[in-house]
Structure 1
């Protein structure tokens, strides 16, 4: 039986890459705290380094409220676009400017930073973490991070355009998906809007599909690492190439140069019916087109409806604490406040509109349209996990390059998968 994630979260109803949003670096400047005239304790500055740029404004507001409640603390929150985050975090450590709190993706990323992160196993919120959110930041029975939220990956689709094309059921097989795309095309409706100009939506999100659908993804990845498994001969991976070709056939012709923001805007403007996406785009959808009737559906790679009637849910990032920080106790206090105080929980659910990763926090009824759909899939136990954080460092970019060559027609599907295997072993040898 293939692995699924069984969540007991409801009570619940959580964006860019990954969130994958783009933009300039944004630093939230600390505002003056309300000082207590009877409190002469020296102020402490807590440095927080994070890459969810879609919540920058909300974090500025949280900063003010936390400092108001804690007059001896100044928060210094720096927000970096996801594609630059790891490079700039390494630069900070190299320069001796380590943040007190920073984000870590878990799995291989935790391995890379394990010597720098504090063991948080004894913190009061640890036992409250939802099961699917535990594994990325666990090592040898210890917990090294607090999950920020849950996110899902699948195809966002326009329910009204589907109805106009006479599509009555959500496709759960690749044959049904092609039939739906043909109906859209016959009705004069553009089907897929593809943003294939970056490795993020390709190697990270799209390629997760066949890996996650293995009975034991971790064992399959271990086989790839040891050279006992091959992507070029793996049936699920070969079937996944049919899905990529289908999106090209029924998609925008300039997908190879279309960026995420452009594709998202065209989807929200209802120029296309289907887009690979996740709930990190909820805030933009709600802002730009609040009346848009958005659904969320699987990304099938073959005609096994049971296997394919699933979406991919995981933890995009976790809060970690620098273990040698002189302020690590105050950093722990901040994380505890975030998930236990009414103010902190309000920010998670109502301001950030995240799907909470802790059982004790009930999601807001004001979740965005994609988040609500993700919650439904979770409740129905139709979710598989995110696998890319388990891959060897550097392989995602190489896989992304090969997929782009395939999309551009420079190599065929078999050659692409052979390049995947070479890239995997090349990355293993460098690590």
Structure 2
């Protein structure tokens, strides 16, 4: 199972939740855990996208460890395969667990309608990184589960066999590397995971990597994100060109996320755009296939600014407490324990939200190679969300890149310029409509 999507900007599909946003409301009571664990009690349901960890017993082990600290709290997990789709529907009611991962479809400005406040930004930022991602009006409503670096997971042995031993520095170098992989190994150079959809959404997480600009997201409020030289122009052009030059799977409508793990581990796929969270999953697949986990590598987006690569640290899902929960203290205790004590961020090779934790092993090679790890400024995300909603682009939804791929492979009319022009036009209309 994937790690959860989409870090970064909230989806324009928040429109789906319009009815819920209008009449939800809940209690504004904060989720505060007692200083004495023995006094915290209750049964809580935790919603998670990690069905794999529920099924293999990993989450139960976490619950057992948690119970040693909080013996009077009983934790039940609900693993949801289509997490985004199902949870956003459930949020039209009050029944969406006690603890949940904030769906990307929820606009940041709507957090207070659905989630209990966890504390002030000033206080929580002393202990945690990335708190601005969940902050609305100086109150924090979500704590980031972990923060992966964004890049290409790739099969190093395959790329070595193709004669590519250094990370490409430009999109054209990357495309040339993909062609070498195809010509010399016969493998699928780049896998889009078109059918599952959500991996295409993660390409937006490269925003900022191209220009090494932490303000790239904020610039979308007033500028054209697909203008020549802008990050999304470069990102989407690379994907389009890879498909157009037949450097991706033959039939994108038949891709399979779970099968892709084994395929990249065994050298049938060259690379996939994902986050560092995917590295341990691919390494596990390599080990299962009798390969060394070192077969799996991780590289930055093929662009440099001032002679250096930049990789965005894009926060993954945020843990939140349902504002309607009858056991907020127990729910908050779970959130605190899971972020602070469980080691879940290290398992997923992401940067921990806890300031005292070290960098994970998958990201260390980037630092050693001089790659700059940057965090986007997101204090104006509410405005970006509003523009995205009005534009109907869906910058974190898969549909627009699925259409991009359809045009690139000849399944839909148009060319790269027409697709980018259409996106620019919609975004401009969204800017005007959102004011």
Q: TM-score, normalization: structure 1? A: 0.74
Structure-2 change in CA distance of 1:402 and 1:273 (3 Å): closer
SS in 1 for 2:269: coil
Counterpart residue number, 1:62: 62
Equivalent residue runs for 1:274-423 within 5 Å: 274-290=271-287, 291-292=292-293, 293-300=295-302, 304=304, 306=306, 309-340=309-340, 344-349=341-346, 354-362=350-358, 367=361, 370-373=362-365, 380-383=371-374, 385=376, 390-391=384-385, 392-393=388-389, 395=394, 396-409=397-410, 410=412, 411-421=414-424, 423=426
Deviation at 1:422, TM superposition (A): 5.1
Kindly indicate whether residue 192 of structure 2 is the aligned counterpart of residue 194 of structure 1: yes
SS in 2 for 1:151: coil
Deviation at 1:189, TM superposition (A): 4.4
Counterpart residue number, 1:177: 174
The CA distance in 1 between the partners of 2:191 and 2:96, in whole Å, is 40
Equivalent residue runs for 1:164-243 within 5 Å: 164-190=161-187, 191-202=189-200, 204-209=201-206, 213=210, 215=213, 216-223=215-222, 229-231=223-225, 233-236=227-230, 237-243=232-238
Unaligned runs of 5+ in 1: 1-14, 21-39, 224-228
Deviation at 1:375, TM superposition (A): 6.2
Structure-2 change in CA distance of 1:128 and 1:384 (3 Å): closer
Deviations 1:360-412 (A, max 9, x none): 23466xx5xx45546657x8424454989954346234423431332332221
Kindly indicate whether residue 143 of structure 2 is the aligned counterpart of residue 156 of structure 1: no
SS in 2 for 1:247: helix
Q: Is the contact made by 2:88 and 2:105 (CA closer than 8 Å) also made in structure 1?
A: no
Structure-2 change in CA distance of 1:60 and 1:422 (3 Å): farther
The CA distance in 1 between the partners of 2:398 and 2:434, in whole Å, is 14
SS in 2 for 1:309: strand
Q: Is the contact made by 2:40 and 2:329 (CA closer than 8 Å) also made in structure 1?
A: no
Q: Is the contact made by 1:149 and 1:355 (CA closer than 8 Å) also made in structure 2?
A: yes
SS in 2 for 1:314: coil
The CA distance in 2 between the partners of 1:96 and 1:338, in whole Å, is 24
Deviation at 1:347, TM superposition (A): 5.0
Deviation at 1:180, TM superposition (A): 2.4
Deviation at 1:173, TM superposition (A): 1.3
Structure-2 change in CA distance of 1:98 and 1:174 (3 Å): closer
Q: Is the contact made by 2:192 and 2:272 (CA closer than 8 Å) also made in structure 1?
A: yes
Q: Is the contact made by 2:224 and 2:427 (CA closer than 8 Å) also made in structure 1?
A: no
Structure-2 change in CA distance of 1:257 and 1:211 (3 Å): farther
Deviation at 1:276, TM superposition (A): 1.8
Structure-2 change in CA distance of 1:178 and 1:404 (3 Å): closer
Q: In the alignment, which of 139, 142, 153 is matched to residue 139 of structure 2?
A: 142
Deviations 1:227-278 (A, max 9, x none): xx33554433444344124422223322353232333331111123222222
SS in 2 for 1:94: coil
The CA distance in 2 between the partners of 1:135 and 1:185, in whole Å, is 42
Structure-2 change in CA distance of 1:279 and 1:101 (3 Å): same
SS in 2 for 1:252: coil
